[in-house]
Chain A
Amino acid sequence: MPASDSKPLISLRHVGLAYANPLARLRLGKDRRIHALRDVSFDVHEGDKLGIIGRNGCGKSTLMRLLARVYEPDSGTVSFSRQVHIQMLSLGVGFEGSLTGRENAVLNGMLLGKTRAHMFSRLEKIKEFSELGDFFEMPVGTYSSGMVLRLGFSVAMETEPDVLLIDEVLGVGDASFARKSQKAIEERFTSHHTIVMISHDPNIITGLCNRAVWIEQGRTMADGPPAEVSAAYLRARDLA
């Protein structure tokens, strides 16, 4: 059965979202908001590898936060078919420098939606994948930026969300770990996992995704096979 025939996990209908403009607070009577999304509609089905393509500033990151339930829309609806666990691939966000790698792995896993017991059961795998060795028992404040990314990526790979949201990131760390992490992400794209990925690069979307949505100035411009959507996006970009 094609993924698109199943009931969608997430459904967006005519979604609009605006930020407050802090520099225009006293300009009464005018629209003081910055509109990031104006009219976005699409579905995410179980098993989808959905690529969201668009230029910088078109509302892609706002859309990710909306899907991650960090924001709620100002207009339109975002509905979820069940209690889905949605996770943004945010490497190292929320780490505490005074805690050890082990403690941060548990804390970060809980921030990502997992229980303490789940994270405890995955700690040895995280230690092994991150290749941190004895540094795993050291405060994260002593890590290099590459080590922080390695730990962040290893934790993210052990949290198994229903929907994984990826913002451009594929490989992280040094050359060797970058290959390993890119392979781990690409394996997700060939498995049953549901993935939503944003990018401004049509080649990445065409190479990894089975469906694509093009967003322009906060509106859905096209939704369909990645090759067709990418071609439409490139034509519009060349004309601009």
Chain B
Amino acid sequence: MQLSRLWGIVFYRTLAGIKAEGRQNYLGYFWYLLEPALSTAIFYFAFSHVMGRGVEYVIFLLIGLTAWQWYEGTCLAAATAIKAKLHILQHFDLPKHIFPLVTILVSTWKFLCIFFVLIAGYLLLGKNPWPGWNLVWLPLILACQLLLIVSTSIPLAISATYFNDTLTLASTVFRILFFVSGIYFSADKVPAQLLGAFYANPMAGIIESYRHVLLDRQPPNFPALLYCALASGAWLGVGLLFSAYVNRRILKHASL
């Protein structure tokens, strides 16, 4: 019963977040589709017509950038979710991690809209658009990345409530990872002796898997997905234990 109550709270707060996003601007939810459509058009023009790279490279890049943006944008937004709701938490006995979870779900909804536009754009612009039956693996890749996001965000949000420095540190780490996750290049460009380090970052395997499924008519990189799922699952377990330990302590020690 307690679990169903908590899911109810997450559901209504997520609904509130999605409604609020839609009402922020005059064009409302239309921005969910317009924003990625504009980015896609700009990338298409810049890389295809100005730099002379093929449409395939534009799609290759957009897949990497969109997946990365879901990861980094969501984790950094979720990092401040507990601190932003301290005024609520001072009145109710609630597990603190439900607030980052709400931020993740709102952000994921937005990502899925963007991803839909991206796939639609690919089907319209790509030379060999039908990615084949390997497309059925797409939900598995999305699930692995969602697990990675949740497992990264919960400890990050708790830590950021104690120490403001966490956000600066996390932004720096994300910036470094951005350049080594294979967004601008594929794994075959990585020197053999560095491949282990390259795949140690779970996002490298995730981005590669999206491209395998959407562009290369191949199944995803299963060992990389398994590694991501196991590492994320273990880290999520640690995060939930950490959350339970600090649950009634954190508000006494929150930073300004």
Binding site for B on A (CB under 8 A): 17-20, 22-23, 65, 68-72, 86, 88, 90, 93-94, 96-99, 103, 106-107, 110-116, 139
Q: Is the CB of A17 within 8 A of B252?
A: yes
Return chain B residues, CB-CB under 8 Å to A116.
4-5, 8
A71 & B252 in contact (Cβ 8 Å cutoff): yes
CA distance A69 to B9 in the complex (A): 18
- Known contacts A99-B12, A99-B15, A103-B12: A93-B87 contact under CB 8 Å: yes
Q: In the complex, which of the residues B12, B87, B249, B255 has the most CB atoms of chain A within 10 Å of its own CB atom?
A: B12
Min CB gap B159→A, angstroms: 15
Q: Which residue of A lies closest to B18 (CB)?
A: A98
Q: Is the CB of B91 within 8 A of A88?
A: yes
* CB of B88 closer than 8 Å to a CB of A: yes
| Alpha-carbon gap, A38 to B202, bound state (A) | 48
Interface check B90, CB cutoff 8 A = yes
Task: Determine how close the nearest CB of chain A comes to the CB of B29; give it in whole angstroms.
Answer: 13
Complex contacts, B5 vs chain A, CB 8 Å: 110, 113-116
Q: A112–B19 Cα gap in the complex (Å)? A: 23
* Shortest distance between the CB of A106 and any CB in chain B (Å): 7
What A residues does B91 contact at CB under 8 A? 68, 70, 88, 90, 93-94
Residues of the B chain whose Cβ atoms lie less than 8 Å from the Cβ of A20: 252-254
Residues of B within 8 A of A18 (CB): 252
Q: Whole-angstrom distance between the alpha carbons of A19 and B250 in the complex?
A: 10
- 9 interchain pairs, CB-CB under 8 A: A17-B252, A23-B256, A69-B248, A88-B91, A90-B91, A90-B92, A94-B91, A111-B92, A115-B5
Nearest-neighbor residue (CB-CB) of B10 within chain A: A110
Residues on the A chain within 8 Å of B251, using CB: 65, 70-71
Q: Knowing A110-B5, A115-B4 are in contact, say whether A97-B92 is a contact too (CB < 8 A).
A: no
Q: Nearest B residue to A20 by beta-carbon distance?
A: B253
CB distance from A25 to the nearest CB of B (A): 8
- B89 at interface by CB-CB < 8 Å: yes
Q: Are A115 and B12 in contact (CB under 8 A)?
A: no
B110 at the interface (CB under 8 A from A): no
Contact status of A70 and B20, CB under 8 A, knowing A107-B12, A110-B12, A116-B4: no
Contact call A111/B94, Cβ cutoff below 8 A: yes
Provide the residues of chain A in CB contact with B249, threshold 8 Å. Answer: 71-72
Residue of B whose beta carbon sits closest to that of A140: B16
* B53 interface residue (CB < 8 Å to A): no
Contacts of B15 in A (CB 8 A): 99, 103
B93 within 8 A of A: yes
